[in-house]
Amino acid sequence: MSYEMLQTIWFILIAILWIGFYFLEGFDFGVGMLLPFLGKKDEERRAIINTIGSVWDGNEVWLLTAGGATFAAFPHWYATMFSGFYLALFLLLVGLIIRGVSFEYRSKNPDPKYRNRFDWMIAIGSFLPALLLGTAFANLARGVPINENMMYTGNLFTLLNPYGLLGGLTTVAIFLLHGANFLSLKLEGELRERVNGFAKKLWIVATILYVILGIFTYTAGFWARGIVNPGIVPITAIVVLLVAGYFINNKMEGWAFIMVALNIVLTQVTFFTMTFPNVMISSTNPAYSLTIYNASSSQYTLTVMSIVALIFVPIVLAYQGWTYYMFRKRISTEKKTLVY
């Protein structure tokens, strides 16, 4: 296979990993953020956690694999982005650390104060990564200061511009909505009613933010800066989000979940098409941008990694999909059925 073809394939593969991560961890970040607000009693909180208990860790591996694949296939992209977004990533890691530990530790002591503290750590640990990833991706679309040596020359505050923050908040809102939809599929009884109420309100906030972000992206010229025009993909993304509102208000939970999930997927597709073949746009000088061509590994490494991915990605997808099937039942708040 030609070198350019391999570079394109790996760009697509990394895009797929991010899409998978946003789709999967998107709802479990949402569930995490909703936890202290939605669950009033301890059994309720445990039931909420158990909706994602068996899958959140596997979902998070999509992020680690996206990171690892970027390192292997586009070392310069990995190096520039990870060192450039240093403090943002540090905060993201702190979020993931306190969140991951809290899932395991929160029920290890019956003291309500102890459990409450960990539940808040889950919420904060879900909020921080959602906010920071949204901010980071918005900045990637906007362009960040990169010099001729592929070095990021800004700092944390460079990322905290209005567009970046809007991207962050929109991501938080969409993930909250996605999480609420997921919960309405997984919970039952009073808790399910409550989360459906949450979803209605969240849909309004998320839709408003999303539309503003779309208009901002279009008018500021962050639109098609690569060689591909995303065309109707972003329009469809807005349409499915609007349609989701209809389903949410008519208690068609499955369809609501699918529509918001589609919105997330299409948004990521838009992001990756509108920057392609750039992977990091330089706001200093477009000539300094990192592209799939100047940031990639050698043809040999890409070939080897393609073979590895071809063998193992289907296996991973199969068993991860199977676990969702295994744990497809709704979770009751009845104490004796809860796993702690």
Question: Which residues lie across from 152 on neighbouring strands?
Answer: 146
How far is residue 261 CA from its own chain's centroid?
Answer: 11
Chain residues 309-328 in contact with other proteins, contact rule CB under 8 A? 309, 312-313, 316, 319-320, 323, 326-327
The number of residues that bind other proteins (CB under 8 A) is: 72
CA distance 85 to 88: 5
For residue 282, state whether it binds other proteins (rule: CB under 8 A): no
For residue 285, state whether it binds other proteins (rule: CB under 8 A): no
The closest of 93, 173, 177 to 128, measured between CA atoms, is 93
For residue 82, state whether it binds other proteins (rule: CB under 8 A): yes
Choose, by CB under 8 A, the member of 108, 201, 251, 330 that binds other proteins.
Answer: 108
> Could you tell me which stretch among 144-152, 166-174, 208-216, 258-266 binds other proteins (CB under 8 A)?
144-152
Binding mask 153-182 for other proteins (x = CB under 8 A): x-x---------------------------
Grouping H, G, I as helix, E, B as strand and the rest as coil, residue 187 is strand
Q: Where are the alpha helices (DSSP H) in the chain?
A: 3-38, 42-53, 56-73, 75-84, 86-105, 112-142, 156-159, 162-186, 189-219, 233-249, 253-275, 299-326
Q: Are 50 and 1 in contact (CB under 8 A)?
A: no
Q: Are 48 and 191 in contact (CB under 8 A)?
A: yes
For residue 332, state whether it binds other proteins (rule: CB under 8 A): no
Count CB neighbours of 121 within 10 A: 22
Chain residues 60-79 in contact with other proteins, contact rule CB under 8 A? 60-61, 64-65, 67-73, 75-76, 78-79
Binding mask 239-278 for other proteins (x = CB under 8 A): ----------------------------------------
Binding mask 31-60 for other proteins (x = CB under 8 A): -------------------x--xxxxxx-x
Of the pair 258, 316, the CB lying nearest other proteins is at 316
Q: Are 32 and 129 in contact (CB under 8 A)?
A: no
Amino acid at 144: V
Q: What H or E segment, with its residue span, contains residue 278?
A: strand 278-280
Of the pair 229, 298, the CB lying nearest other proteins is at 298
Query: What's the closest the beta carbon of residue 164 comes to other proteins, in angstroms?
Result: 18
For residue 84, state whether it binds other proteins (rule: CB under 8 A): yes
Of the pair 82, 216, the CB lying nearest other proteins is at 82
